[in-house]
Structures are given as C-alpha cells and as structure tokens.
Amino acid sequence: MRPDNFKRLTGRPIHHYRAIFNTVDGILIPILITTGAMREYAILDKLAKKIFECLIDNYAETISNLKSSKKRFKKNFAEGKYLFDGIHDEFVPYFRICSNLM
C-alpha cells in the first residue's frame, strides 16, 4: 500500500476501519471457502492489496463499482456474452477467479 493512504486514515472513527476490513473479508472469504485450500495465495494477496487501496482512496465509489461489476458479470453470464465486458479494472482478478469456479 502507498504510505499516504495510512496518513489519510488516521483520525477516522473505528467503524470506518471495520467497514474496510469487513468488505475485504466479504470479497476474499467466499473464494477461500469455495476453492478449499487454494494454492495461489499470491493472487489473493495482490487482490486484497488492490481492494484495500481502492477502499482507502474512496470507499463509496469502490463499493458502487463492485456492485455494478457484479450486476454486469451476472448479466453477461446469463446472456452468454464475454464475462468481463463492462467490469471495472480493479475487480477483474476477482471475477476471473469467480469464472474459474463456475
């Protein structure tokens, strides 16, 4: 993570920290549960780092992008289109892992 991200977080209420960590947990734990003992922890580490940075930069925008990407991914799957069309760049690794599980 960039050092300036931590400077921007100092002085925030505790619920802000909890929201960030709960969001990252909510993204990573389903992947770990469905894959069992995933061997590629490096991928998850990079994904967690990227999501932490995005959430620290702008929490509301990141959540909005995640929700719209999920809707787009489901719609693309249902229509038989290219799955990653319209997905925000920071979430492509997440949806790439999800597509391998389907």
Q: What's the structural domain count of the chain?
A: 1
pLDDT in tens, 15-33: 888 899 999 999 888 888 8
Sign of the CA dihedral running 59, 63, 64, 69 = positive
pLDDT in tens, 37-48: 566 778 788 888
Q: Please report where in the chains the tokens 């940075």 appear, as a residue.
A: 53
Question: What is the structure's pLDDT at 38?
Answer: 63
Q: Rounded to the nearest 5°, which phi and psi values hold at 65? A: -65, -40
Range of the domain at 55: 3-101
Confidence at 64, pLDDT banded by 50, 70, 90: very high
- Nearest by Cα to 66 from 55, 57, 80: 55
Burial classification of residue 87, based on how many CB atoms lie within 10 Å of its CB (0-12 exposed, 13-18 middle, 19 or more buried): buried
